[in-house]
Every structure is written in structure tokens, then in C-alpha cells.
Amino acid sequence: MGIKTVDELPTCESGICIVRSHGMAPQKIDEIAEKGFEVIDLTCLDVKKVQQKAIQLAKEEFLVLILGKPEHPEVIAINANAKLYSDNVFVIPDLEALKSLDNKIKEIKRVGVVIQTTQKLEFLQEIVSYLVPISSELKVFNTICKSTSKRQQEAKELAKSSDLMIVVGGKNSANTTHLAEILSEITKTIHIETANDLKEFEAFINKAENIGVTAGASTPENIIKQVIEEIEKI
């Protein structure tokens, strides 16, 4: 259909440029428009909400903590939006990164928290527990996508009655990899992208009596059906 992914914009070109669901730095969106493209912003509404909450905290002069992976496009966009209004914006991938900001937190005393939509609730709880004793004012927005939270909870319940969980979805998908991490703490878990990947796990499948299947948010329904059909054959 002529649709292609670009990492860098041509010097000048006309046509439509779609901003994907993870969002993008506002400066980049302006640059796209300036180069002559028609911009269609398809940033997920849940991701937009995180951006807006981060901006709100920055405007209110909180030290802004964005919990998530620094290299993830969603986090890059949230960070870029908040930094338009404050220099005190930091991406926190883990507790150790937060500990390095202890002095800054004690100096500013007002701390605001948002979290990448596909992160784990346990990560948010861990960070908030650490912040409570060292901050005078703490404002926390639980911006984890409700769909992600629900999927994680349902999958955890399924894992409790399964001796093997199969998670279907892209290896570069944050919500899918987090799902696999969560379930691996409960039962034997494998993460695959397509039905073809099942071949290397036939031994596990043959040994299992109860197999649970779940998938990431963007995994197509037909891929999930193919995986289930292949499991039944094995």
C-alpha cells in the first residue's frame, strides 16, 4: 500500500506522516509539519494522558520522575513533553537509578511520579515505598494502562493453574516482555512470536498437563489462533 517506516525524515517531501501509538517529542512533530507532511497523530490516548500528567507536574514545579525504560519510544516522548516546562525531569528505570537522586529529592522535597503505560504495578509500588520517607510532598499518577493491568492480573490467575504458560507477542514489545517476566515468577513460561517458534519447545509442551496461553496487547488474533492450533497438534 506504499506505507513505510522512517527513522529520519527526507529533506522535503509531501504526503502523510503518521505518529505511532507510542507518541513522539513535540519538537519532532513540528519538524514533520515544517517539512511539508500532513501529520496524523495516532498517539494512544492512555499515552497522551501520561504526557499531560507529566506536563502538569512539571508546571507545578515538582521534581518529575518517569518510571520506565529510557530507550522506549513512549518514555522518550513523555520525557520530551515534560522537559519543555522543567529541567527537573528524570527517567527512572529501576530503584538504583532513583537512589542516585536522593539529594535532589531532599532538596526539592516535592516529587511527582508517572509511569510508562506498560510497566508493572509492582515497580510503581516499590518506587513509591522508597519515596514516602524522603519526600515532603508526593503526587503519584498510576498511568499504567488499564488493559495492561487487567491482562497481567488475568494471566497471573491462569498461571496459578498451569504448569506451562505461553506468551505470544513481539520480543521488542514492552507489555509482552513484562507479561512473560511476571508469569515466569509463578510457573514455567516461554515467550514466542509465532507458532513456528513452538518447535524448539516441544519437549516442554509434551510434558505439560495444563497449558495457559496469553498474548501482548498488539498481538494479532490470527497469530494467537495459529499458536493454539499448533499446540493442539503437538
Active-site positions? 74
Beta strands in 124-179 (DSSP E): 137-140, 164-168
In angstroms, rounded to a whole number, what is the distance separating the alpha carbons of residues 65 and 99? Answer: 12
Q: Walk across the sheet containing 63-67 and list its strands.
A: 89-92, 63-67, 110-115, 137-140
Nearest residue to 218 via CA among 163, 179, 189: 179
Nearest residue to 180 via CA among 147, 220, 215: 215
Cell numbers for 11: 529533506
Question: Could you give phi then psi for residue 115, rounded to 5 degrees?
Answer: -135, 140
In angstroms, rounded to a whole number, what is the distance separating the alpha carbons of residues 14 and 81? Answer: 26
Beta strands at 211-215 and 164-168: parallel, antiparallel or unpaired: parallel
In angstroms, rounded to a whole number, what is the distance separating the alpha carbons of residues 62 and 105? Answer: 10
What is the rounded radius of gyration, in angstroms, for the C-alpha atoms of the chain?
A: 21
In angstroms, rounded to a whole number, what is the distance separating the alpha carbons of residues 95 and 89? Answer: 16
In angstroms, rounded to a whole number, what is the distance separating the alpha carbons of residues 229 and 206? Answer: 15
